[in-house]
Every structure is written in structure tokens, then in C-alpha cells.
Amino acid sequence: MRKDAMSYSQKCDACQRHINILHQPADPLYPIVSSWPLMKWGMDIVGKLPKALVGKVFMLAMTDYFSKWIEAEAFVQVREKEVISYIKRNILTRFGIPAEITCDNGSQFIGKRTTNFCEAWGIKMITSTLVHPQANGQAESSNKIIINNLKKKLGSKKGKWTEELPFVLWADRTTTKNATGQTPFSLVFGSEAVLPTEMIIPTARTSLQTIEANNEALSKDIDTTD
């Protein structure tokens, strides 16, 4: 199936038009280590983008350094209060408190309200500089992935990017990454997501799972704990 997908993408006109062109880095790059999933995130703002529903032209994105899981949301504007609300809704209440967030020196990130919020939750904010923007390279890389995949999906209908964003994120989360050899979904949740292809071509986990089998497994687990 993977070979078929690669063959299709190689023949896809939109995929070839918006594929990343690799360049030799100007300076040596050094990996930033994250010890466990969801420990360290990179954060960045993308925009202005084509005006979408209710005038949304910005995207705030965060990427987990370990799993490469991307969270992104569209905004009309991104101020400190939007950044704080975004972190609360998309990170803290879903994945727990991260140890570090890397970002640039945007006023939304280094302002007093954002700084106080992160200090209150024990989150260390690390800022990149204009001299060395590679420090936030993970976020920049994720931005390119999202934008390129939106272009492939939308073509000339650029104003509908907010509608396609959840599907682009889902596709990326369930795609194997070269850096890890795993999908972001599997590294975060411990198993692969059930995809539409499994509804068409059943796999062992979708075809063999029954109420009886589940009850039997549950009974064994209870006996083990006893």
C-alpha cells in the first residue's frame, strides 16, 4: 500500500508542484533532544494567509519535538490572549503540561501576560533569535508541511484553507515520519489510528474484535490484577 501511495504522489501534479526543494544548510545543524512525547513543543505563527471564514488570516501552530505531532488553529489575529487560550485548549487540557516551548521573539510570545502564564504553569519558554532562527527549526518545518499540503488540497480555492486544515493535520499525524520511522499518532497514543482503508479492507484488529472477545480479554485482565 505504501508503494502505491508513493507511486501516486510521484504522478500527482499538485504534489510535484508544491514539493519541498532541499537546500544545503548554511550552518551545521544539531538535533534538539526531547526525552519523551509531548515534553517539548515548537510554536510559530503563519500568516497572513488568504482571508477565510470570518476573516481568519493567521494560523498558530505547535509541534511536539519527539513525536512530530502538529496542532494548528486559525485566527483573525494572534495576540497574547489568543496564545494563552490556544495553549490551554490545545496543549494543557489535552496532553498535559509541557516542560518547554520554543518560539521566536514575537511580542505575542515574550509579552508579560504570556511570560507570567508560562511561569505559573512551570513551562520554560526558549526564544530563538534573528541571528540563529534554526533554534525553532521544528516549527518552521511543520509550517512548510501544513502550507504545502493545503496547497495540494485546495488548488485555486485558497480561501477555504480553514475548512481543510483539520484534514491536513489528520493526514500528517497518520503519516510515517523519516525522522522517527513511526507516525505521530502511534508515538502519542501507543497504537496506529483506524483509517478509512481499514473499513474497506478489514484488518485483524477491526474484523476480529467482538464483544465476546473484548469481554474475555477484560476478564483475563481482572484475573491478573486479582
Supply the CATH number for residue 62's domain. Answer: 3.30.420.10
Q: Is the distance from CB of 59 to CB of 168 less than 8 angstroms?
A: no
Q: Per-residue pLDDT tens for 124-151?
A: 999 876 555 555 677 788 888 888 888 8
**By residue range, what is the domain housing residue 107?**
34-180
Q: Which of 40-44, 142-146, 213-217 has the lowest mean pLDDT?
A: 213-217
Q: What is the pLDDT of residue 153?
A: 79
Verify that 163 and 219 share a domain, yes or no: no
The C-alpha cell at 94 is 489535552
- Calpha distance 150→154 (Å, rounded): 6
Question: Is the per-residue pLDDT at 172 higher than 60?
Answer: yes
Distances (CA, A) of 84 to 103, 119, 177: 14, 12, 29
**What's the pLDDT tens digit per position in 86-111?**
999 999 999 999 999 999 999 999 99
Give the predicted TM-score (pTM) of the model: 0.76
Cell numbers linked to 18 = 508544491
Residues 129 and 216 placed together within one structural domain of the fold: no
Count structural domains, the chain.
Answer: 2
The verdict on 153 and 208 lying in the same domain is no
* Euclidean distance between CA atoms 91 and 71, whole angstroms: 8
The CA-CA-CA angle for residues 100, 104, 110, to 5°, reads: 75
Q: Are residues 39 and 128 in the same domain?
A: yes
Q: 123 and 49, same structural domain?
A: yes
Same domain, 96 and 204: no
**114 shares its domain with 206:** no
Structure-block grid coordinates of residue 215: 469481554
Four-point Cα dihedral 94, 116, 106, 188, nearest 10: -20
Considering only CA atoms, which of 183, 187, 177 is closest in space to residue 195?
183
- Same domain (yes/no): 147, 66: yes
Q: Which three cell numbers stand for residue 58?
A: 493567521
Distance CA 146, CA 178 (A): 17
Residues 147 and 213 in one domain: no
* Residue 225, pLDDT score: 59
In this structure, are 38 and 121 located in the same domain?
yes
| Of residues 164 and 18, more confidently modeled | 164
